[in-house]
Structure 1
Amino acid sequence: MMQSYVIVARKNPTKPTEAPKYYALARSGRTASVKEVCRRISERSSYSKGELEGAIGEFLLEMYNVLQEGNIVQLGDLGNFRMSIINGTATETEKEFKSSCIKKCKVLFYPGSDLRKLCKTMDYGLYRTGEKTDEGEDPGDGGGEAPDPTL
């Protein structure tokens, strides 16, 4: 498989007078829904689409519960999910710190060996405007991850 990318110009926000530098930005083709993934699995296995959708729904609910308890969800070689805290206010002493000093939390994902291997072996191809996906549609913006221009 090949990861498409586009080339984007990014200015360094700490050096706004410098000329922009060019970076690759991942280009997603389309989104595969849970229903589509379940249909694809059911076509090559003995599980029905409904059984798979039910199992995934229950799994996601339990994953939510495990994270809510402050635990890590490990998905084998796929990776781990865990909670992280973003502090809004620092205090001078430990005694002054209250839970109200915490701004919010977020879920972190750490890829496992399968995804790390995928990233090491991925081929890349420049996306050309007007290319069509498997569905015959232009994928649009598709998102992606911008590089850190300060590096």
Structure 2
Amino acid sequence: MAIKYKVLPRKNPRDIAAPEKFYAAAIADGDVDLDRLAELISYQCTVTATDCYAVLHSLEHNIIGELEQGRIVKLGRLGNFQVGISSEGKDTATEVTTTNIVKSRILFRPGKRLRSMLNGLTFKKAG
């Protein structure tokens, strides 16, 4: 199986007058939800799909709760989740307040096995 990609033109944000360049962009080939993951997991063990779904749903709920507390959520070999923020820059440290925070996001740092999966990928142009 190969990761599909398409070619997209993009302007240089630092030089709008510069000619566009073309870049490869990965395109998704469907998606998988918690129900499907629960079903797949249930085929690989003795736990029912319903039980797997309940565990995955609880995992999601608890990850959210722990991230809201500012904790790093470590999921072993899978990887780590953490909240990251972006803020406006100020001239002095005392000028920085919560009003300067402009964006928050969830950071995911994959474990070794997930990272190494990237080394073995093949690619195929879509269309």
TM-score bucket of the superposed structures, by smaller chain: 0.7 to 0.9
* 2:80 alignment counterpart: 80
Unmatched runs of 5 consecutive residues or more in structure 2: none
Could you list the per-position Cα deviations for residues 101-146 of structure 1 after superposition, in whole angstroms to 9, with x for gaps in the alignment? 3334221111221121011111111111xxxxxxxxxxxxxxxxxx
Unmatched runs of 5 consecutive residues or more in structure 1: 129-151
May I ask how many residue pairs the two structures share in their alignment?
A: 127
Query: Counting helix residues as a fraction of each chain, which structure ranks higher?
Result: 2
* AA matched with 1:10: R
* 1:138 alignment counterpart: none
1 CA distance for matches of 2:42 and 2:126?
32
* 1:71 alignment counterpart: 71
Closer/same/farther in 2, CA of residues 21 and 99 from structure 1, 3 Å limit = closer
Partner SS state of residue 76, structure 1:
coil
Closer/same/farther in 2, CA of residues 79 and 22 from structure 1, 3 Å limit = same
Is the Cα–Cα contact under 8 Å of residues 5 and 25 in structure 1 kept in the other structure? yes
2 CA distance for matches of 1:44 and 1:96?
55
1:49 Cα deviation from its structure 2 partner = 0.8
Structure number with greater CO (CA < 8 Å, separation at least 6) is 1
- Whether 1:8 and 2:8 are equivalent positions in the alignment is yes
Could you list the per-position Cα deviations for residues 36-69 of structure 1 after superposition, in whole angstroms to 9, with x for gaps in the alignment? 1111221232110110110011111111111111
TM-score using structure 1 length:
0.74
- Whether 1:19 and 2:23 are equivalent positions in the alignment is no
1:83 Cα deviation from its structure 2 partner = 1.0
* AA matched with 1:34: L
TM-score using structure 2 length:
0.87
Partner SS state of residue 77, structure 1:
coil
Is the Cα–Cα contact under 8 Å of residues 89 and 102 in structure 1 kept in the other structure? no
| Equivalent residue runs for 1:58-137 within 5 Å | 58-88=58-88, 90=90, 92-128=91-127
